[in-house]
Structure 1
């Protein structure tokens, strides 16, 4: 078991604590996620039969045979578009932001080939290479578009997807469900289909997917071959490929479909869908994480895999152990995710909850400014109530389950004797004799160093201490994962290492039960990142070049 923090660590040399960042490292090992909403045609096979796609601010190359991932980290905001070069090796990705740019990168070496800047504003929504592998052709110093001529062949429609074919033919999916066939810029015929959202062309013909939840295969003349109905599995498709068909779904899942086994789709990637992701809990004895989000699902993640949703909630999931953004607190069995009991004592949002180390009590903190304490052995009967002046943001139990410390929205750190309602003290000097089982609070002298000198008290959303290695991991509103020494005492002066990948605010970070991994969740990118912890002296990766400043590091996966 990990050694527990003792108050004597407050004697940690301040000069060393602020002079150097920790010598240990984090290395991105796995990402549970795929952006299936607000994007189309963003999943491709590379020349090596690996899947390439994106999630958050990371380009992912997924080897489904070996179940490994490689990562491209050249973006600083959400990636929203992707195109693959005809050589199936290079890809281009475009992002959102005030000054968005396009990265062209190699899917084998995972290195940048080129960066295109100063062209777009707000975001790069769509990308394509031409048949020669070029992005666009300039006429003089400007792009010269040509309008399609609809004539009387078809109605003017919003075009959802497009695919080029031989003999100067182009096929496009229209909003009304038809496929428009173009010769040059002239519409020559229409084909009735069912709301095609995405289209892929290959030598054998075409594959399409759309609003009816079906994949359709067509020959080179766009005559139907067969239909694969997956509506019973998931609804709404955002793109298809061939062969075999990896089907990206609106619910941020990827399924592999073989035509000969069309009734047996293979789940390749499963994650949370549109909405913010906040809830995260790590199993105390197994390498398992549970997450919950605004998509009203609770998902169970084992090593390098995220299971199907096993519990669907009536409203979004916000707090750390899968309570709801409302007054209801369901307690779920870790074996099969069935509901054991639910409690309704509050009117406001529940933000935080934790079981005591001896499993006797469950503490639940809400926006009412209250922590309700329940006795587990009495079928979660309420046995205590702790009052604060503002909404509860973080809480931690003492090792002996006798004390609870809380952080609230007013910036207060309070201490309570359990299981009663007695506010024991609010001064850190009185807490020196208490040994805390976890440290997830953002307030206190032990974590002053996580705050930039002039930052507000809301920039850091989550922290978690690793007592054994004397380090602290944080997640903040800038989308950064930071690694500090613990304790870190001096505001604005504590050195750290930071890691990129999440494109929006990082809502939660937690150490695994064996302290070998850090799990982080992204709010708007609704992605779950798994980071391998490399203690000092265990550096089995290759450091990337310095990104900026003198404290930011990244890692290239082994074997590159």
Structure 2
């Protein structure tokens, strides 16, 4: 840990996982050291003895090329030899020694190209030593404060075990190719990665400019109802306003059109609409910028017609996040009340026009769930939350409170929501399933009103999550029991409807045109309907972390799966959920058969399934061990299915009958860590794969799943897809100071001009392809509020789909063409 860095508490399972990751790296480093010792011994045997009987130092290997990370010494080239493809080597045993350097005679089949002897002069033997730590870096690394930025599921490590801020170091990269221009080398966490330059490319033939294409956010799938309140409103245009990740979505339901407010730097937690129904206030959590610097929470007030920001409220005043906010009504929305998520839940009142703070006070150490101004008196404010309801009086710079007294009624654990009824009384909904009526008392000292608990009405089984007052004065309530109830003015039950179980409980209620109601649910769905006619979904989404993504080979359709065990098929043209099904287990990866009628899904438990996309019926399945699966990929002609597992193996199945019959074909053995990514060659015979310890290996599948020891011979092979994050064609996408887990996913476009990258800093990047230049420029796009876990181009390269991890978001971007960039792009890094 760097001096002065904040120590993050680590739970025992996470600490154990960190130790396992470090042990794996130590084993890999030990194996590399043993390979180097064997390399030196072989050199000593080949070199002639000096006349005086001493053994001269071996010649220096060619200069290295690229160093990503904090490498400060140039280690010698490590060989590409691995164990045989039939059985894995025993634990702890060193791999085969590498090939001798290019200055030595090259035995057949070794992993180095035949080249002329290196003209580099001999170097001292100490240059063969390798530095495994980052302590020699000239630039210190600061840990990135990221609440959910982790790629541990697929790339190992935890946020606590690794710093997440890319550190720019003048000695961390070297941009020289070797003297023969044959290979290039980069370093990740001190491990050398050698990549061979294709014969058609070279140092002078690679683009380093920004791609002319750009991305524009077209559609956001999902809604944040699981853990937020005050999150669904209707503005004057008739559009629904709701948050998803860092985006505030404006959805016009009849036109099936979305607009997006994109000025937030982290997840939006709450919304409030001004009395004019035009202006919107949105509050966000604390975030970080692209350099890892903390960004404080803030409230944006913006115009819903033009999407222009009108005012930023509270920059530097809030801690952790904005939990609740509300506009005043009696003075035409001149003031805004905000409650943050600090330990004291600071409550403040702001002048909306000037952005000036007028009053501030510590509200409570318990969580605050709701805040509202009295619609008849802007000097009266109410807050509710855990074990409390407070009636506040605001005057000048002073905020004073009176606690609601429950008297003979049982004090609930939570008061989730409240509204003002037509008589000015207050109705609260609590965790006991009751609606409590607080009646106004006579004006007391200071001329302010006070409230007294007068009535308790049993409303729901379980918590009352939402209360709303209709235009005709009737009251609506929604609760954990998934029931939506209509009450008269005196709280007599009038009507009710129960929502389907798959949508979850009622989170919030808004009023649409006529008698139409809009309901947000705890399972991230938005429903539209009436009490008499029932409800239908207009927005649906995942409810837990999302990792798996596959795009259809011939239509604008794509599949997603994640930790909520749901497999979802989305229609990118109509922007709807076609169907979803319960996998019974966490889904981590997926891929379409080239025919488009079958999809393969890899699960957390090591099982895989093949499903018919029309009937949703399983066609085949299996389990090759009990480790999670990282990647499943059909060959271009659909005759093979490759499955990459965390047990270090790639399992190959032959596929017949149009993807409906699967037969075990073989197993690729040779990786020393878990498989992370793989791609098929265009002829369907070979595989390129990456692993958790940053290996790049090649396999002859058609020849019996054999490991190709001479990786140089694969440099000109053409790949049907390019999703491997390590390789010559894409090494320029890695940022300086990367620890090897900063890129979660990568995808080359079908026309082979673009590379899209999903990183651990909530960003989607668009690079040119090939991207084999250090510090390659990219267009950078925000919107996700967590690590971006996957990206894929659609079949015609007209769209890109990206997944947010813990924010559960699915974004569909439109790929726009444009003139070549000439510089000065504000969104490029």
Do these two structures clear the TM 0.5 threshold for a shared fold by scoring above it?
Answer: yes
Q: CA deviation at 1:309?
A: 4.6
Tell me how far apart the structure 1 counterparts of residues 727 and 233 of structure 2 sit (CA, whole Å).
48
Q: CA deviation at 1:225?
A: 2.1
Query: Within 5 Å, which residues of 2 pair with 1:82-231?
Result: 82-97=271-286, 99-116=296-313, 117-131=315-329, 132=331, 133=333, 134-136=335-337, 137=349, 138=359, 139-141=395-397, 143-152=399-408, 155=411, 157-182=413-438, 183=440, 184-194=450-460, 195-204=463-472, 205-231=474-500
In the other structure, the counterpart of 2:793 is 511
8 A contact 1:269–1:305 mirrored in 2: no
Q: CA deviation at 1:12?
A: 7.5
Q: Summarize deviations over 1:13-40 as a string: whole Å, max 9, x none.
A: 46x733x211211000001111121112
1:447 is the counterpart of 2:724: no
Task: Assess, with a 3 A threshold, how the Cα gap between structure 1 residues 452 and 174 changes in structure 2: closer, same or farther.
Answer: same
Q: Summarize deviations over 1:77-125 as a string: whole Å, max 9, x none.
A: 1111122222222222112226211112222211212111222211112
Q: CA deviation at 1:63?
A: 0.4
Tell me how far apart the structure 1 counterparts of residues 319 and 305 of structure 2 sit (CA, whole Å).
30
2:647 to 352, 355, 368: 368
8 A contact 1:310–1:336 mirrored in 2: no
Tell me how far apart the structure 1 counterparts of residues 724 and 211 of structure 2 sit (CA, whole Å).
20
Query: Within 5 Å, which residues of 2 pair with 1:311-390?
Result: 311-321=581-591, 322-377=601-656, 379-387=661-669, 388-390=671-673
More divergent stretch after superposition (90-99 vs 326-335): 90-99
SS class of match (2:785):
coil
In the other structure, the counterpart of 1:557 is none
Task: Assess, with a 3 A threshold, how the Cα gap between structure 1 residues 222 and 105 changes in structure 2: closer, same or farther.
Answer: farther
- Which structure 1 segments of 5+ residues have no match? 1-5, 540-545, 555-560
In the other structure, the counterpart of 1:10 is 201
1:47 to 231, 236, 245: 236
TM-score, structure 1 length as denominator? 0.90
Tell me how far apart the structure 2 counterparts of residues 12 and 35 of structure 1 sit (CA, whole Å).
47
SS class of match (2:731):
helix
8 A contact 1:203–1:220 mirrored in 2: no
Q: In the comparison of the two structures, how many residue pairs are matched?
A: 534
More divergent stretch after superposition (528-537 vs 136-145): 136-145
Tell me how far apart the structure 2 counterparts of residues 73 and 553 of structure 1 sit (CA, whole Å).
17
Query: Within 5 Å, which residues of 2 pair with 1:17-36?
Result: 17-18=207-208, 20-36=209-225
1:283 is the counterpart of 2:552: yes
Higher relative contact order (CA 8 A, sep 6+): 1
Tell me how far apart the structure 1 counterparts of residues 455 and 581 of structure 2 sit (CA, whole Å).
47
2:686 to 388, 397, 403: 403
SS class of match (1:239):
strand
More divergent stretch after superposition (209-218 vs 199-208): 199-208
Tell me how far apart the structure 1 counterparts of residues 453 and 486 of structure 2 sit (CA, whole Å).
22
1:502 to 784, 804, 807: 784
Which of the two has higher C-alpha Rg? 2
Q: CA deviation at 1:227?
A: 0.7
More divergent stretch after superposition (251-260 vs 231-240): 231-240
SS class of match (2:614):
coil
8 A contact 2:677–2:689 mirrored in 1: yes
Task: Assess, with a 3 A threshold, how the Cα gap between structure 1 residues 153 and 327 changes in structure 2: closer, same or farther.
Answer: closer
What CA RMSD, in Å, does the superposition of the two structures yield over aligned residues?
2.3
Tell me how far apart the structure 2 counterparts of residues 72 and 426 of structure 1 sit (CA, whole Å).
52
In the other structure, the counterpart of 1:292 is 561
TM-score, structure 2 length as denominator? 0.62
8 A contact 2:218–2:258 mirrored in 1: yes
Tell me how far apart the structure 2 counterparts of residues 464 and 496 of structure 1 sit (CA, whole Å).
14
Tell me how far apart the structure 1 counterparts of residues 306 and 487 of structure 2 sit (CA, whole Å).
35
Q: CA deviation at 1:8?
A: 6.1
8 A contact 2:682–2:719 mirrored in 1: yes
- Which structure 2 segments of 5+ residues have no match? 1-196, 288-295, 338-348, 350-358, 360-394, 441-449, 592-600
